[in-house]
Chain A
Amino acid sequence: MAIEDDVLVIGGGLAGATAALAAADRGAQVRLVSAKQSTLRHASGLIDVLGYAPAGDGPLADPFAALEDLPAGHPYERVGGEAVREALSFFDEIAGDAYEGGHTDANALVPTHGGTVKPTARYPASTADGLASDDRDALLVGFETLPDFDAPLAASHLKAAGAPFEARGVTVRFPGIVRDDAKITRYAHLLDQPETVRTDRGETTAREALAAVVEPHLEGEPRVGFPAVLGDDHADAVRADLGDRLGVDVFEVPMGPPSLPGMRLEDLLYDALAERGVRVTTGVPVVDYETAADGPDGNAPPPIDHVIVDRNGTEIPHRADQYVLATGGLVGKGVESERGRVFEPIFDCHVPHAADRYDWFVDDVFGDQPYAQFGLPVDRDLRPLDADDGLEFPNLRGAGAVLGGYDFAAEKSGAGVSLATGYVAGQRAAEERQ
């Protein structure tokens, strides 16, 4: 017999987790199935809602004001502005102290590891003291063995971007790192435990040693920023400890991939899933589905009866009343392509695209890229539509990057769309279960 639940969410990223939490909140028995790990670890951990209008205006100080003017088919337009606000509140509740930004409607400007700034609506507590829209001077610290963040260059770049404070950058050696290709989790672990490291002054903890390396570079700046490697499970303690030792506020500049802030967000979401009784099956893909014999009436498409999960070659049926598809876009592999077509691999839902692949892109790398908008068109209930605007399935909803009609990278809207559509899809799925 199949493994049974009320709502089955396919995909374990921000949209999938939000959908599962929202459905569980409405009393449904929910299972989340995730093939491998999601793209949360690729992203910065910031919760962007809308930083630029689709036409490019921005950075937008107020993301909500611009929500009303989005083109038809944009996921925000599908769910409506109010749902976006509700979803953000839902997120704020789940995240608690781990995220900030909820005290205002305004976007914050956050320094990026590339050196510039970007607008975002919610940011991890670890970044709260690092806002570029905060006018306190800052010292940025980079590490010789971590080329992804060049602190002196980032400081000059912030100045060029017009940031309203003095930023300086220094590059130091990270105590306790012995190999030049150590992974970011290694840096985090040294500080998290903290491990004991050997320095010129004998053996100390990695936190103490790092503070000692940075201290001589301080010139009175009230805040000091590091690349986002300051601990994993105990990130708050690491920051507080470094801050105490240096007498400053300590913050992280988001990075990725791989992204520790993204991993921490993932942990936060999965803890919430466990707390709310969502059953989680990870590491195995949904590969196929079966529909019921008939639809509710003669003309309507038949509902999905069950899906097939592939466990290392063994096919395990999973049945639910309602399904949420949150498998991601081109990066998460919820949307795939071949030389002649773009498709959704599990249910073969319709993905609009030009027939000629040379019309999938434009020549300017940062131009209006059609490929960036590949994804499923949906109705206002987030149910995928076929080429004739009919429903693909009555009991399937889409959420997150698997949806089309928006360019999250240009708009800086990725997390917001995942939250809003995940929230709505999860709620509706729970409401409609038999």
Chain B
Amino acid sequence: MARDTAVLVLGGGSTGCGIARDLAMRGLDVTLVERGNLTDGTTGRMHGLLHSGGRYAVSDQASATECIEENEILREIAGHCVEETGGLFVQRPEDSDDYFREKLEGCRECGIPARVLSGSEAREVEPYLADDVKRAIEVPDGAVDPFRLCVANAIDAETHGARVETHAEVIDLLRDGDDIYGVEVRHDSGPGKRTHATPGTTEEITADYVVNATGAWAGQIGAMADLEIEVRPSKGVMTIMNVRQVDTVINRCRPKGDADIVVPHETTAILGTTDEEVSDPDDYPEAGWEVDQMIDTLSELVPILSEARTIRSFWGVRPLYEPPGTGTQDPTDITRDFFLLDHADRDGVSGMSSIVGGKFTTYRAMAEEISDHVCEQLGVNASCATAEEPLPGSENIERLEAGMDDFGLRSPVARRSKQRLGSRACDVLETDEPNPVICQCEGVTRAEIQDAVSQSGSDLNAVRIRTRASMGNCQGGFCCGNMASELHPTHDEETVREALDELFQERWKGERHALWGEQLSQAMLNYALHAATMNRDRDPASAGEDVDFAAFDGGRPEGDRVDGPRGAR
């Protein structure tokens, strides 16, 4: 029987998008389905560290070696998603000298370029480091924008013929005896999310082979076909600072522990993180003490953090996995390596493999290995090209950085636009129309918003992850209305209103965790603007109750008007 697609990839995170791109580039017919937006799961909820491998150089040297290899590849193929910040492993007086030495040796054994800096040299690199920092190891850590990277993979997969379907939740695995041949998805009921499918409908998508790349949710997918996949989701908190206090990744040089990393990320700095096993990746407690711990502990390394403004916090769930029977108690001890579970070998059910464990930095290598496996299953002979072919936006990036046109924009806005858009900047920003800045915190112009809307339809959260609009200090208070306006008239007023409400609520979700000091002032100002000035909280258009306009003041009676009768001029 003819199937809808050769390979069906479940999950629109880095792994899923990486696999879709890899297989599509090899000429396979690929469909990817994602429950929400691209990156909605773990990918969009990480600290944005491009590992040098230094963090694993003592405990897990295989992972460390893989990290440095992939780190070097991503700098080449995804230059516009990566910022080469460098990283420091910082030792405080109370941290162990032995461990510092082990770390340095480990780096060297794994081929990670590493150099020791004295305390004052480290402070020269990062002036806000604490005065009593003893010394540091410098490694080639970097910062990566997971949204941009993931979207670039998806765009390239589509360019190579793949179908990428977001807001399509898998509600069943189609299983015929011992063979899995597809899934049933439900398209999201929100209007106008994507134009492919009618909202609220379900669809069966059949495939020659299914790849379950849903990470922390892999167990839930497996259960739909009575397969047991022992994912051990582990949550971690990340707190976003309003500005970059550091421009280098700052790691605490000690064996393991919570709150030991600060990653400069785009215009912000991200503090991380914790590691605590949870039973349900969609439902776990998010507590204030976790945020406090980030700020208080990391202030030991960068004291200015204790007074600095945080704009939100979020939690991510790691898709940790270990083979049955390993029995590790502490989730920090579970390996960060990934596992390819071929359910034919493992459970006697053909047609599907699951991919679990792993980490963002090595997503491409994981995708390559799985794609090799899929090709083998399908009897296709094609080789991987993802290590050489640059992602869209990263072609000829050096030419772009050489300067050239500012597209009539103020230079910092032009610079940020080019940093985000990479080699696509010219196509996106070149316009004869007025191109005002829509998001002032992040310097995002109308042209860039329109480009994102053309990719993602009316879902403003999808626009957000493509552009960073609404991710700055006002957390959308001042710009999300203007972002929504950009949907009109392509999308009707009701769709625009719902998209705006959804984005505004999503921004609040993270901002709640930063509600003190400046951010509480900001929240009150946002609330006053949207509720008091605009009355968006009690909007008669959304309230569903008719207002008796005639009962209200319709203006001063004709005869009493100082400036004469109406319309008479």
Contact = CB atoms under 8 A, between A and B. Distances in A.
Contacts of A162: 540-541, 546-547, 549
Contacts of A358: 287-288
Q: How large, as a class, is the contact surface on chain B?
A: 35 or more
A248 B567 CA distance: 5
Contacts of A100: 555-556
Interface stretch (B70-78, B92-100, B431-439, B460-468): B431-439
- B436, B540, B553: which has the most chain A beta carbons within 10 Å? B553
Contacts of A42: 525, 528-529
Contacts of B562: 97
A153 interface: yes
Contact of B505 (A56, A131, A365): A365
Interface in A41-87: 42-44, 48, 51-52, 56, 58-59, 61
Contact of B540 (A117, A333, A363): A117
B552 A112 contact: no
B537 A409 contact: yes
Nearest to B291: A339
A14 B523 CA distance: 21
A103 interface: yes
Interface string B480-506: 011001001100111011000000110
B539 A131 contact: no
B434 A128 contact: no
A101 interface: yes
A244 B434 CA distance: 29
B118 interface: no
B557 interface: yes
B548 A103 contact: no
Contacts of B550: 133, 164
Interface in A116-165: 116-119, 128-129, 131-136, 144-148, 150, 152-153, 156-157, 159-164
Interface stretch (A28-36, A249-257, A263-271, A311-319): A249-257
A103 B556 contact: yes
B392 to A, nearest CB: 27
Nearest to A120: B553
Contact of B516 (A119, A152, A338): A338
Contacts, number: 233
Interface string B146-162: 00000000000000000
A131 B554 contact: yes
Contacts of B338: none
Given A104-B553, A148-B482, A157-B493, A366 B434 contact: no
B446 A147 contact: yes
A132 B552 CA distance: 9
A217 B393 CA distance: 41
B399 interface: no
A109 interface: yes
A366 B536 CA distance: 9
- B434, B489, B555: which has the most chain A beta carbons within 10 Å? B555
Nearest to B481: A114
A26 interface: no
A153 B529 CA distance: 18
Given A42-B525, A162-B540, A153 B434 contact: no
B404 interface: no
- A43, A59, A372: which has the most chain B beta carbons within 10 Å? A59
B531 A410 contact: yes
Contacts of A116: 534-536, 539-541
A257 B533 CA distance: 9
Contacts of B548: 61
B556 A181 contact: no
A338 B521 CA distance: 11
Contact of A112 (B493, B516, B533, B563): B533
- A43, A112, A222: which has the most chain B beta carbons within 10 Å? A112
B560 interface: yes
A153 B520 contact: no
- A153, A162, A372: which has the most chain B beta carbons within 10 Å? A153
Contacts of B505: 364-365
A331 B433 contact: no
Contact of B566 (A59, A136, A329, A361): A136
Nearest to B538: A52
B346 interface: no
A242 to B, nearest CB: 10
A56 B521 CA distance: 24
Contacts of B547: 59, 109, 117, 161-162
Nearest to A259: B533
Given A249-B566, A369-B527, A106 B538 contact: no
Contacts of A56: 538
A260 interface: no
Nearest to A100: B556
A414 interface: yes
Contacts of B434: 144-145, 173, 180
Contacts of A360: 515, 520
A412 interface: yes
Contacts of A58: 538
A356 interface: yes
A234 B434 CA distance: 28
B488 A152 contact: yes
B569 A249 contact: yes
A76 B421 CA distance: 53
Interface string B96-135: 0000000000000000000000000000000000000000
Contact of B554 (A133, A146, A254, A333): A133
B553 A108 contact: yes
Interface in A348-395: 356-358, 360-361, 363-366, 369, 371-372
A168 interface: no
A115 B538 CA distance: 12
B527 A409 contact: yes
A336 B520 CA distance: 9
B288 A338 contact: no
Given A61-B548, A97-B562, A329-B524, A134 B496 contact: no
B373 interface: no
A345 interface: no
Nearest to A46: B533
A158 B537 CA distance: 15
B569 A247 contact: yes
A18 to B, nearest CB: 18
Given A145-B434, A147-B446, A412 B516 contact: no
Contacts of B288: 356-358
A119 B567 contact: no
A226 interface: no
B257 interface: no
A56 B540 CA distance: 12
B552 A107 contact: yes
A249 to B, nearest CB: 6
B533 A147 contact: no
Nearest to A121: B553
B533 A256 contact: yes
Given A161-B539, A356-B288, A339 B516 contact: yes
A222 B537 contact: no
B569 A156 contact: no
A330 B520 contact: yes
Interface of A: 42-44, 48, 51-52, 56, 58-59, 61, 97, 100-101, 103-104, 106-109, 112-119, 128-129, 131-136, 144-148, 150, 152-153, 156-157, 159-164, 173, 180-181, 222-223, 240, 243-244, 247-249, 254-257, 329-331, 333, 336-339, 356-358, 360-361, 363-366, 369, 371-372, 408-410, 412, 414
15 contacts: A56-B538, A100-B556, A101-B553, A107-B552, A114-B535, A134-B555, A144-B433, A144-B434, A148-B482, A152-B488, A153-B489, A153-B496, A181-B410, A339-B295, A358-B287
Given A248-B569, A357-B516, A358-B288, 9 more contacts: A42-B525, A48-B532, A59-B540, A114-B534, A118-B534, A152-B489, A161-B547, A365-B505, A371-B520
Nearest first, the 3 A-B pairs at minimum CB distance are: A114-B534, A118-B535, A133-B552
